[in-house]
Amino acid sequence: MTDRAYEDAAVLLLRQLTGRLADDTVDPLWSYLGAGEYEMFEDMLFGQLETEQVGLTGEEVELFRGLLDNPQDARLTQLPPLNELPQYEFTAPPDDSSTSAADAVAREWAAAQPKPVRVLRAWRQPANAAAHAKPGWVYVVVVPSGAPVKRARAELGAKLMVRKVGSWPVEPVAAGERPPDYQRSALQAGKQVWPE
């Protein structure tokens, strides 16, 4: 499997697990993927699925299997059972002062990109008992079709952290694609932050 094929499959798997794994788990997984540390990515994902008791669908198991050097890895048979999938509701309530600094950083980052990007912000609220992620703001970055979404996610996420304006989840989406339900719902509900 080429690096690009690996990354495309891993990005899809990570996006499908967003909202099921804790936000604090998803961040380092994206970092390992962005750094090309595939073995660390796989080991951490196995460990956190077990720790957080997050099961995979049959399709996700096969997607994960395709990433592994050993498709018969015994850890695949020890994954937690799949329970009810979490659901979230995304809305765009009025702005509040908690987002002004982060919005400014997001605009600065977006304005510096060589190709146009869109940045939106939506409010995430759990919508069923299986949804354990806290209510809060989520940024959605829409990059041009064909651009690597992991780069946008890593760059904006890091910039928000370095500037100390809060640890906000960043969801990457490529223009024209049909993303997983979580990202699609956030995109549809989000208020545009850039371009203004």
For CA atoms 11, 15, 20, 26, give the dihedral sign: positive
* pLDDT tens per residue, range 34-66: 889 999 999 999 999 999 999 999 999 999 999
Task: Give CA–CA dist 146/141, Å, rounded.
Answer: 14
pTM for the model = 0.89
CB atoms inside a 10 Å sphere around CB 69: 9
Residue 6 pLDDT: 95
Q: What is the mean pLDDT of the chain?
A: 92
Extended strands (E) in 99-159: 118-126, 136-143
**116, 86, 90: which is closest to 187 by C-alpha?**
90
Whole-number Cα distances in Å, 145 to 111, 115, 116, 121, 154: 18, 11, 11, 20, 17
